[in-house]
Amino acid sequence: MAIFEGAGVALITPFCTDESVDYDQLEKVIDYQIEKGTDSIIICGTTGEASTMSHEEQLEVVKACVDHVNKRVPVIAGAGSNCTREAVYLAEKSAQIGVDGLLVVTPYYNKATQGGLVQYYTDIAKASDAPIIMYNVPGRTGCNIQPETAAKLVKEVDTIVGIKEASGNISQVAKLMSLTQGDIDLYSGNDDQIVPILSLGGKGVISVLSNVVPTETHEIVASYLAGDVKKSRELQLKYIELIDALFCEVNPIPVKKAMAELGYCTGTVRGPLTEMEPAHAEKMIQIMKKLNIL
């Protein structure tokens, strides 16, 4: 059984203006997501700015999330690194905290061969019994999980159950689903490709968009899985302009600004990220108003 089906939110981490974690606002954002139908909380991923946190701080945020969610929906914690030992540590400690799954990005900067990826994910899987979703986002990491590699890992390692596919390469995803006969939990990692991924057998999305419109993102997936492809497609296309705005600058700069406009955070990001360009911010705000989000 999949860790979750539907829309999982790649949750922001609210910061105070001094860049410390705002735990009160984190709880409010979590409650908002669950109340609006989000199917899973993904904490300390790319959107959560985990790469700017110490391991201790990251694990504190994961624990705060697990405690506050209190089993209402599955919690999946980011646990990847460009150092296998660090990824193993994060996986082990996150599992001890009580997460329902791990989202493990490929090694970045130093990257890895395909054989290196097999070893990396296998070593992390040995650290805990928590199910693992591999995270393939070559545009950010410079490292691509080839379909044959992902298929090998899913077939040979029991706790590696899924993949968040953000390569943007639909042909690659189709090949993966063919090689695994669909026996892998596939999630879209790109909000503009939710429906195409679902059409190939996807279970849902791990979504930035869901921060801003959780009900509607849930409905894109729920409608498709219920057989209402027309409604799913219409919702996907309705929010394309907003999706584009949310990625007009490096994630999570725009989504932090959007959530600040909604009153859920200060919009503060940690360096090297910077405040959203005023022209981009104004355009996004106008799109949000047009969609009656503001």
**How many C-beta neighbours within 10 Å does residue 142 have?**
13
For the question of residue 164 being annotated catalytic, the response is yes
Mean pLDDT for all residues in the chain: 98
Q: Which of 63, 120, 121, 135 is catalytic?
A: 135
Residue type at 81 in one-letter notation: S
The predicted pLDDT at position 183 comes to: 97
**Taking 90 as the threshold, does the pLDDT of residue 185 lie above it?**
yes
Q: Are 98 and 129 in contact (CB under 8 A)?
A: no
- Which residue carries 């042909």 as its tokens? 171
Long-range pairs for 172-176 at CB < 8 Å and ≥24 separation? 172/146, 172/147, 173/197, 173/200, 174/200, 175/147, 176/147, 176/150, 176/151
With 90 as the cut, is the pLDDT of residue 1 above it? no
pLDDT tens-digit series, residues 72-113: 999 999 999 999 999 999 999 999 999 999 999 999 999 999
Mean pLDDT across the stretch 113-124?
A: 98
Mean pLDDT of 105-126: 97
pLDDT at 83: 97
Nearest to 102 by CA among 69, 135, 151, 73: 135
Burial of 99 (0-12, 13-18, 19+ CB in 10 A): buried
Statement: residue 265 has pLDDT above 90 = yes
CA 184 to chain centre: 17
Which candidate in 152, 164, 203, 256 is catalytic?
Answer: 164
Domains of the chain plus CATH, in order, are: 6-228 (3.20.20.70)
pLDDT of 294: 96
**Per-residue pLDDT tens over the stretch 38-58:** 999 999 999 999 999 999 999
The answer to whether 135 is a known catalytic residue is: yes
The DSSP H or E segment spanning 205 is strand 204-207
Confidence of residue 23 (pLDDT cuts 50, 70, 90): very high
